[in-house]
Amino acid sequence: MSKQLIKAALLSTILFLSACSKDDDIQDNGNSTIGNRLSTGDSAHEILSDEEFTDMVIEVVYVEGYQPSQISLNNLTSFIKQRCYKPGGIELNLRAIQAPGKETYTIQEIDSIEREIRSQYNNGKRLALFISFMDGSFNEDTDSSVVLGVAYRNTSFVVFEETIQTLSDQITEPDRDLLESTVLRHEFSHLLGLVDLGTDMLTDHLDTENGHHCNVESCLMNFKVESGVNLIGMSSEENIPKLDQQCLADLKANGGK
């Protein structure tokens, strides 16, 4: 795959898996997992507000050799604190897994891997999220576009870390911490229901051609966040694309900050 033909585009595809089945209502340490097996955006209000869950645990798993940077994870935690009411705090649990031995992944395969290895589920007042950093690439990548991350459940998303590493840290490419931070915030924002994916729009800013993305080019939720945003250089808070005012207003109306 030629780097000259690939741009660091956040073409995150939202796939609506079947919400739940009887097989999804399995038990983990006595807790039902059904609350974590819903469709993307279904738990937007619960993630944003503290009405049901007052704290959060984020289970981060990565294929050996594809660990995300601590800077990126810190940036995600800061982003969550800015947008969500979780007075009990946010805990990160990080661990490595062995490579599944695949060059490409479908979302169905990613979901199956999660079912096998996920250990954290909603429990009492604690909300559990699951993020995986995978080797290989998305099976729908082409020579002209790649997918860096996909939100596929109400509390789950995947980051294709090998693709991020391929597209970053050279002189003409984005800084890896910056690119990872952007992907993490973008996919997490889909869990928050943006755009029009569980969080209603106060004004119409839906990119109808690219589905569940913002039509403001500079917004974090634009399907190509690099449009009008300089992703080359050192990673810093001001370099990471921001949510536009319409997205922020939608989140506040759904219980967020």
| Mean pLDDT confidence for 40-52 | 97
Alpha carbons 26 and 189: distance in angstroms, whole number: 27
Alpha carbons 27 and 117: distance in angstroms, whole number: 14
Instruction: Work out the pLDDT band at 236, boundaries 50, 70, 90.
Output: low
| Mean pLDDT confidence for 204-209 | 94
The answer for residues whose C-beta is within 8 angstroms of residue 85's C-beta and 6 or more apart is 48, 49, 50, 255, 256, 257
Distances (CA, A) of 44 to 38, 48, 158, 249: 11, 6, 18, 14
Quote the Cα angle for 138-144-149, to 5°: 30
Reported pTM: 0.89
Instruction: Work out the pLDDT band at 27, boundaries 50, 70, 90.
Output: low
In whole angstroms, what separates CA 120 from the centre of its chain? Answer: 17
Given 3-state DSSP classes, what are the helix, strand and coil percentages for the chain, each rounded to the nearest 5? 30, 20, 55
Sequence ranges of the domains in the chain: 7-12+21-253
Instruction: Work out the pLDDT band at 25, boundaries 50, 70, 90.
Output: low
Q: Is the pLDDT of residue 232 over 80?
A: no
Q: Is the pLDDT of residue 21 over 50?
A: no
pLDDT tens-digit profile of 87-142? 999 999 999 999 999 999 999 999 999 999 999 999 999 999 999 999 999 998 88
Alpha carbons 150 and 129: distance in angstroms, whole number: 14
Q: Is the pLDDT of residue 20 over 50?
A: no
CATH class of the domain comprising 7-12+21-253 = alpha beta
pLDDT tens-digit profile of 7-18? 334 444 444 444
Secondary structure of residue 1 in the 3-state scheme: coil
Instruction: Work out the pLDDT band at 226, boundaries 50, 70, 90.
Output: very low
pLDDT tens-digit profile of 53-99? 999 999 999 999 999 999 999 999 999 999 999 999 999 999 999 99
User: 221-228: long-range contacts at Cβ-Cβ below 8 A with a sequence spacing of 24 or more?
Assistant: 221/186, 221/189, 221/194, 221/195, 221/247, 222/10, 223/9, 223/10, 223/11, 223/12, 224/7, 224/9, 224/10, 224/11, 225/9, 225/10, 225/182, 225/186, 226/7, 226/8, 226/9, 226/10, 226/174
% of residues, the chain, pLDDT over 70: 81
**Average pLDDT, whole number, for the chain?**
85
At 144, list the tokens.
């002209």
Instruction: Work out the pLDDT band at 171, boundaries 50, 70, 90.
Output: low
